[in-house]
Amino acid sequence: MNWALLFAAGVLGGLTGSIAGLASVATYPALLMFGLPPVTANVTNTVALVFNGVGSVLGSRPELQGQGRWIGRAVPIALVGGSVGAVLLLSTPAEGFEKTVPVLLGVASVAILLPRRTSGEAEGPGRHRVRMLIETAAILLICVYGGYFGAAAGVLLLALLLRTGHASLAHANAGKNVILGVANAVAAVVFALLATVHWWAVLVLGSGCLIGSRLGPVVVRHAPAGPLRVIIGAAGVALAIKLGLDTY
């Protein structure tokens, strides 16, 4: 029964992760219920979510067309961020990040809910460089957090991409799937080499994640963007409130 529940949590985590970046909200508690200690559960969860990255990227291929140049610039940032986050997890206590997560998640969820303003004015070179620097720094910090713990990192990144000019929710979600998939994969390599991983749990949970994450981008592609953004934003706000109550 425990293995079946772990697989079901993987399917749910893969589905919610590839849609809204909330995979760890389903998978991490399942590993704790399975009996793993917190750090082992976090490490095992990160390795299992490699399957989530594979499935979500495969499902997002239509939306990734035309984003190759931007993703090529973002991938090295994700590699660095995921590596730093993994090293931080293995060398520092978790309390500092835990206290900032509810605030970050709440702000990101509200940003998803707010309508995006469009401007017909052309962006000057100076303003474009500043925006790119801010976006790069934000992606790096989110990927560090993604490698460190990762719960709702996808919501943070999705909010950022939606506010910085990605054409649609589906396109922003596809970019989010690639970037966080890379950050999570490099963190998983660090954990596999330096930490204790429960490999049987990875196999069962990861199999569920692969199935769920393959379906998520299809939902985003065909669901009405407006209501889906409201659902993602509302879920993020609810989770931020719960995490805030638990933390403070």
Residue matched to tokens 């393959």 = 214
Residue 157 and residue 180 in contact, taking contact as beta carbons nearer than 8 Å: yes
Instruction: Provide, rounded to the nearest whole percent, the portion of the chain with pLDDT above 70.
Output: 86
Range picked from 18-32, 50-64, 85-99, 229-243 for highest mean pLDDT: 50-64
**Treating both helix axes as pointing N-terminal to C-terminal, what angle do 38-59 and 169-194 enclose, rounded to 10 degrees?**
140
Residue 139 and residue 78 in contact, taking contact as beta carbons nearer than 8 Å: yes
Averaged pLDDT, 221-246: 77
pLDDT at 66: 85
Q: Per-domain residue ranges for the chain?
A: 2-247
Average pLDDT, the chain: 83
pLDDT at 234: 81
Q: Lowest-confidence range among 95-99, 101-105, 144-148, 158-162? A: 95-99
Q: How many CA atoms lie within 13 A of 177 on its CB side?
A: 35
The SS3 call for residue 166 is coil
User: How far apart are alpha carbons 204 and 109 in whole angstroms?
Assistant: 30
Instruction: Provide, rounded to the nearest whole percent, the portion of the chain with pLDDT above 90.
Output: 28
**Residue 163 burial by Cβ neighbours in a 10 Å radius (0-12, 13-18, 19+):** middle
Q: Which of 133, 130, 154 is nearest to 142 (CA)?
A: 154
pLDDT at 91: 84
Residue 4 and residue 206 in contact, taking contact as beta carbons nearer than 8 Å: no
Q: How many helices (H) and strands (E) does the chain have?
A: 11, 0
Q: For the segment 179-219, what is each residue's pLDDT rounded down to a tens digit?
A: 999 999 999 999 999 988 999 999 999 999 999 998 888 88
Q: For the segment 64-109, what is each residue's pLDDT rounded down to a tens digit?
A: 888 888 899 999 999 999 999 899 888 876 565 567 667 766 776 7
